[in-house]
Amino acid sequence: MSEDLTYRGWRRPGPVPPGGIEPEEGETRDFICGHFRIFQYAKGHRYSTDDVLTAWYGTEWAPRVERAADLGSGIGSVAIVAAWRLPGARFVTVEAQEQSIRLARKSVRYNGLEARFTLVHGDFRDESLLAGERPFDLVLGSPPYFPQGTATAAEHPQAIPARIEIRGSVADYARAASRLLAPGGLFVFVFPFGQRERAAEAVRTSELVLIRRRDVIFKEGERPAISLFAAARGADMPPSVRGRDAVIETPLTIRRRDGSIDAEYAAVRMSFGFPPGDMPRSPES
């Protein structure tokens, strides 16, 4: 997409990355927030609205972060959006799949984020992996949604772990977050609305307290599709908070019945450097 493309006068905010890295065969390079771009496989796992909203929700409720971690970070989509919104934060990402972390490394270099990112190749369930790291103010996660055998796997092998629980479930994410959080830190993650009780149970059994939840409706009139969760360590919360139910926010609607973008979601898009409405697309968008 050309740098001067505008949407009713809107221009991409933020510094232009140094760039200098080209997609290889089978890869695309796409805008993800502001001028930041991400490398993805054309037919593999690609970043989603779920990823962007996870980063948005986490940085919305933890706006002053020194250190952040992204568990099962895949191609780096959640961490890269969070890094755009938290320009002073440093990030540690953990990803077990070589194909995905290779793409994440390219995106980090392209966007000039090497000084702020440490990309760890490994399984975050291995407690020794981050044993030398200081605690994190924010831990992000976009867990796979389905246990093995309960959903159709993706055709591209690199995309399978992003959807199917090959290396851990939401409970594993919650346990790791509980171990890694700094006092007062937040664990923010996304999970299907229909499995929200499973997510809440993962939080409870990991000695975390669910602070708030926001459901996301992709089109007005439909039931929510996903939910965004924010949790903290129970030991950091006073008894009066530990015993209360989480704040359930008004659902976020993405599109209205007529297909237009909802006014609130337009504002959300602007907060991570996207145009407020639909924008003409090109091969590199």
- Whole-angstrom Cα distance, residue 205 to residue 36? 37
* CA neighbor of 92 nearest in space, from 52, 140, 148: 140
| pLDDT at res. 284 | 45
Q: In this structure, which topology does domain 27-271 adopt according to CATH? A: Rossmann fold (3.40.50)
Identity at 94, one-letter amino acid code: V
Q: What confidence tens digit (pLDDT) does each residue in 110-162 have?
A: 999 999 999 999 999 999 999 999 999 999 999 999 888 887 877 777 777 77
* CA neighbor of 237 nearest in space, from 278, 203, 271, 197: 203
Burial 86-98 (b: 16+ CB within 10 A, else e): beebbbbbbbbbe
- Whole-angstrom Cα distance, residue 49 to residue 38? 14
Q: What percent of the chain is modeled with pLDDT above 90?
A: 79
Q: What confidence tens digit (pLDDT) does each residue in 66-91 have?
A: 999 999 999 999 999 999 999 999 99
Q: What is the pTM of this model?
A: 0.92
Q: Is 238 left (phi over 0), alpha (psi -120 to 50) or beta?
A: beta
* Locus of tokens 């000039």: 112
